[in-house]
Amino acid sequence: MPKAIRNTLLSLRDLLASAGPFILVAIVLLTLAYWWLDPNPPKRVTLATGPAQSAYAEFGARYAKALAANGIQVVLLPSEGSSANLQLVREGKADLGFVQGGSGARDVSGDNAPVSLGSLFVEPVWLFYRAESASKVTPTGILGSLTQLKGLRVNVGTAGDGVPNLMNALFDVNRIESSGMTLSQLDQTSATVAFLNGELDALVFASAPESLMVQMLLQTPGIKLMDFAQNEAYSRRLPFLAAVSLPRGVVDLASDLPATDVRLVAPTTTLLTGPKVHPAILQLFSQASLSFHGGAGWFSRAHEFPNAANTEFPLAKEAERTIQNGVPLLQRYLPFSLANLMERMWLALGIIIAVLLPLSRIIPPLYEFRIRSRVFRWYGQLREIEGRLDSEPGSGTALVAELDQMDERVGKITVPLSYTDELYALRNHIQLVRRKMLKT
């Protein structure tokens, strides 16, 4: 190996050896920061959806496909509906779940309290009734208040759905006793069949307007949709409700269906999550919600959803940032895994750099000491030989031979060029002692 390359490699080795403690401290701090921040999300999460062929099931499939592109497997967990999803999230059996406003008692205290990813869309309360049954209650055959349901047979949805709890809240603010009605909790299909057969007077469910059941009932002769004339009052009394309006002709412009604007109340659906779900997972779901729920619809304008309104649970920080700022800058140009690592580690890296910067100042003195020690350590032996010359008369010849051996070994020392002056100074001092010995 050429001598120049050998000297360069030795210098690099000395530099690395001098910086070794500094590098070790940096690695330890980075490892601790990585362990504490846990930047990489799990590869598998569970999402509670709803009954088969429901809107929740359809959205669940979309979220699963979106997160699969980032290497996250979303396991879809079918359920009876919103209330069941809320229970699954609370019990930790599902990481996330679609939950309708008013589906159950709020639990916003404690470390295990669920958090929301924002309001995603509204699900209007569709209260269909038979005109024939309404004519027994009011001469006009048109129902305009929940108090007019007294004495009628009403289906309010299944127990696992959020509609029964929602209707109980509506009945409470109207001071309506459920004992004054014949209530049932059949599933949507069975209830619709019974309703069309005249076995029920009214049918209540909350669903997206594109639902085939909604479309069919809106166009069925003898079936009317109740107009919630007090929808604004409901939205003020119950924070999870929004006042919406079904515009005239939006169902079928040619048939002018509906013939007038219909006022409705609509709970907002949120994506609820447990407090222990990884922040990166929440970020991915929040970003997916921007594209899935940001379009215009019957009851919303473009980019109106997702939002932070009408939610019963605290809003997750990741959802708040996504709603306000959209997709982070780094994630627009880098793979999610790399961008997520950089976003979550940058603060820790800043702290580590602030700690290591003062420590880095010891590297040059340590490097200098390491190089100079190769030269200075020989001065102890040189002084010892010189001292023996005075204390051991007649030993000059032996000491000169010992000094020659020392000079030969010193000549093999390798140091960077910037330190050769000290090496040559040592060799001059050896010669000085040799001359002193030869004179005696």
**pLDDT at 247 exceeding the cut of 60:** yes
Q: Name the pLDDT band for 29 (thresholds 50, 70, 90).
A: low
Residues in Cβ contact with 231 at an 8 Å cutoff, skipping those fewer than 6 apart: 243, 244, 245, 263, 264, 265
The H or E element spanning position 116 is strand 115-122
The per-residue pLDDT for 419 is 76
* 0.85 surpassed by pTM: no
Q: Region 292-318: what's the mean pLDDT?
A: 83
Q: Is residue 401 part of a domain?
A: yes
Counting the structural domains of the chain, the total is 1
Q: Region 321-338: what's the mean pLDDT?
A: 78
Instruction: Give 155-192 pLDDT, tens digit per residue.
Output: 998 877 778 888 888 999 999 988 888 999 888 888 99
**pLDDT at 309 exceeding the cut of 70:** yes
Angle between helices 279-293 and 336-359 (to 10 degrees): 140
Q: Is residue 94 part of a domain?
A: no
The per-residue pLDDT for 14 is 60
**pLDDT at 212 exceeding the cut of 80:** no
The per-residue pLDDT for 389 is 74
Edge-to-edge strand list for the sheet holding 125-130: 182-184, 153-155, 202-206, 125-130, 223-225
Q: Is residue 299 part of a domain?
A: no
Compute the radius of gyration of the chain from its Cα atoms.
Answer: 40
At 375, the amino acid letter reads V
Q: Is residue 128 part of a domain?
A: no
Q: Is residue 133 part of a domain?
A: no
What's phi and psi for 252, nearest 5 deg?
Answer: -150, 105
The per-residue pLDDT for 268 is 86
Range of the domain at 398: 3-26+362-439
Mean residue pLDDT across the chain? 82
**pLDDT at 308 exceeding the cut of 80:** yes
Best CA proximity match to 259, nearest among 227, 216, 297, 305: 227
Encoded tokens for 4: 């120049």
Region of poorest pLDDT, from 25-29, 99-103, 217-221: 25-29
Q: Is residue 395 part of a domain?
A: yes
Q: Region 250-276: what's the mean pLDDT?
A: 88
267 CB-contact burial (10 Å; exposed 0-12 / middle 13-18 / buried 19+)? buried
DSSP string, 123-158: --EEEEEEHHHHTTT-TTS---SGGGGTTSEEE---
CA angle 226, 230, 236 (to 5 degrees): 130
Q: Name the pLDDT band for 230 (thresholds 50, 70, 90).
A: very high
Phi-psi region of 115 (alpha: psi -120 to 50; beta: other; left: phi over 0): beta
Q: Is residue 53 part of a domain?
A: no
129 or 158, greater pLDDT = 129
**pLDDT at 210 exceeding the cut of 90:** no
Q: Is residue 353 part of a domain?
A: no
